[in-house]
A and B are shown apart, each in its own frame.
Chain A
């Protein structure tokens, strides 16, 4: 018999704060795993890109024919497709991140028992969490690039600020993934995932994705303004239409706070999530 060939990982110093054995500095291997798995189911991977594109084609042209133009973020009128496209970009960032951090994580955890297999290796719970969130970002980032190219093709991007929509989409996805992961740690069965649908679908429909805030009565406007997707939509709309103001930093701050809070809860619950 030869000696063991597995190498002992040396976690970076900062992670010493976490429960020991939680981080082996190998989160990138989960990306490798997800990329390999995606290559085997490339059609499903590709389909994620088309969902917002179908919405843009149908709603932009179809509903647009009923609406004409709408006031943009700075009051200047813009076409309906230009109005909803950034909303769809934001919603797609949310939906992808939430799906990956809730349904996907729960399935791999409870049914595929994938994390049990990983945690029997030198990998720790933090590697798993970072790897899964990282993959959600890689995938979301690719979809966002694709969607921005489609927007450019339709002439819906007329400003260099639109380049910032990509990092903005990543930030939005990160915040939703962190909160989603934290929420998943409290899930007990599939029935609980109805709550996820119950949160994401209304947000998708009502966060000024399809029409401006002014449609709502005053009290409802305040409620909508609290929703995270509203801030994502406004952020994207400001960047893709070039109506950039300091207010956009407020939206960015919203997601930074959300990512930190979600991440803190997820980190604290990670042991409960992955180790029994």
Chain B
């Protein structure tokens, strides 16, 4: 008879191997249930493209006021990168609320994962990694459809998708960390959507330049990660004009800092909850 140590077939994955296994787990689930999220991640942003890029764009086509706001670019082309970033933020924010709580409370998938050799930190990183994969995929599909509608100026849109993914992750990480601390049924989430996510999508320069906002609100815009992401994504998609390079660095640094802090907090809150 083989010794006890030889009998078990489980192996400890490497630090990133564990994260990859968590991402794979999400992917397997998604393959069976992708329809459930296709509406919110792909169909909904495309509806916004149609409503604002095409519909509203038709209303204001040729008006001098629009040319002044967009730098002469067609409104559809101008709004497209903004909507890509906005959609990534919406997906990132939503998927870091109820689904994360479900992993701890309702379906307990996180508890099941950490019963094996995978660590809570790897579960947190895997969640964020999966979100990046998902928003990237959704962003590429949306970009392709926008291109068919004539809303893409050049290959820079691919860089815009990348920036969107970063922006979505930067918003998702701190929300993920917060969700992991909740013992409730998520009753506070609607308030987060309405007081944080929705104002962010409306006041970050997605639909119109932020200099059109009231003086009072304008200083707050800098707090919004979506504004930083939109500035970068739009410059990338239109092929310029880029803000001066210290501003570009500032936008990137802000997003990376938010992502970094959020990720550290998420790893910590996941560990505290799952390893107690």
Chain A residues within CB distance 8 Å of chain B:
41, 43-44, 47-48, 50-51, 54-55, 57-59, 61-63, 65-68, 190-191, 194, 197-198, 201-202, 205-206, 210-212, 215-216
A204 nearest CB across to chain B (Å)? 9
Contact (A58, B202) CB under 8 Å given A63-B56, A65-B65, A205-B47: yes
Chain B residues with a Cβ closer than 8 Å to the other chain, count? 38
Contact (A61, B213) CB under 8 Å given A66-B69, A205-B51, A210-B52: yes
Nearest first, the 4 closest Cβ-Cβ pairs linking A and B are A205-B51, A58-B202, A62-B208, A47-B194
Determine the chain B residues whose CB is within 8 A of the CB of A201 once the complex forms.
Answer: 44, 47
B138 nearest CB across to chain A (Å)? 15
B187 within 8 A of A: yes
The secondary-structure label for the interface of chain B is: helix
Q: How far is the CA of A55 from the CA of B203 in the complex (A)?
A: 9
Contact (A44, B39) CB under 8 Å given A59-B207, A67-B60, A211-B55: no
Contact (A44, B66) CB under 8 Å given A59-B202, A190-B36: no
Determine the chain A residues whose CB is within 8 A of the CB of B48 once the complex forms.
Answer: 205
Partner of A50, one of B58, B60, B187, B194: B194
Q: Is the CB of A62 within 8 A of B35?
A: no
Determine the chain A residues whose CB is within 8 A of the CB of B214 once the complex forms.
Answer: 57, 61
With CB as the reference atom, state the residue of chain B lying closest to A65: B212
B199 within 8 A of A: yes
Contacts of B193-208 to chain A: CB distance below 8 A: 193-195, 198-199, 202-203, 207-208
Determine the chain A residues whose CB is within 8 A of the CB of B69 once the complex forms.
Answer: 65-66
B9 within 8 A of A: no
Determine the chain B residues whose CB is within 8 A of the CB of A43 once the complex forms.
Answer: 188, 191
B190 within 8 A of A: yes
Q: Is the CB of A194 within 8 A of B202?
A: no
B169 nearest CB across to chain A (Å)? 24
A54-B199, A191-B33, A210-B51 given; 6 more Cβ-contact pairs under 8 Å = A43-B191, A54-B198, A62-B213, A205-B55, A206-B55, A216-B55
Determine the chain B residues whose CB is within 8 A of the CB of A61 once the complex forms.
Answer: 212-214
Contact (A67, B39) CB under 8 Å given A48-B194, A54-B198, A62-B212: no
Q: Is the CB of B44 within 8 A of A51?
A: no
Scoring A58, A63, A194 by chain B CB atoms within 10 A of each residue's CB, the highest score goes to: A58
28 residue pairs of the A-B complex, CB under 8 angstroms, read A44-B190, A47-B193, A47-B194, A48-B190, A50-B194, A57-B202, A57-B214, A58-B202, A59-B207, A62-B213, A63-B207, A67-B60, A67-B63, A191-B33, A191-B36, A194-B39, A198-B39, A198-B43, A202-B47, A205-B51, A205-B52, A206-B50, A206-B55, A210-B51, A210-B52, A211-B55, A211-B56, A211-B59
Q: Is the CB of B213 within 8 A of A66?
A: no
B224 within 8 A of A: no
Q: Is the CB of B35 within 8 A of A66?
A: no
Determine the chain B residues whose CB is within 8 A of the CB of A44 once the complex forms.
Answer: 187-188, 190-191
B111 within 8 A of A: no
Determine the chain A residues whose CB is within 8 A of the CB of B51 once the complex forms.
Answer: 205-206, 210
Q: Is the CB of B59 within 8 A of A62?
A: no
Determine the chain B residues whose CB is within 8 A of the CB of A63 once the complex forms.
Answer: 56, 207-208
With CB as the reference atom, state the residue of chain B lying closest to A51: B194
With CB as the reference atom, state the residue of chain B lying closest to A208: B55
B25 within 8 A of A: no
**Interface 0/1 of B22-57, CB less than 8 Å to A:** 000000000001011001100110011011100110
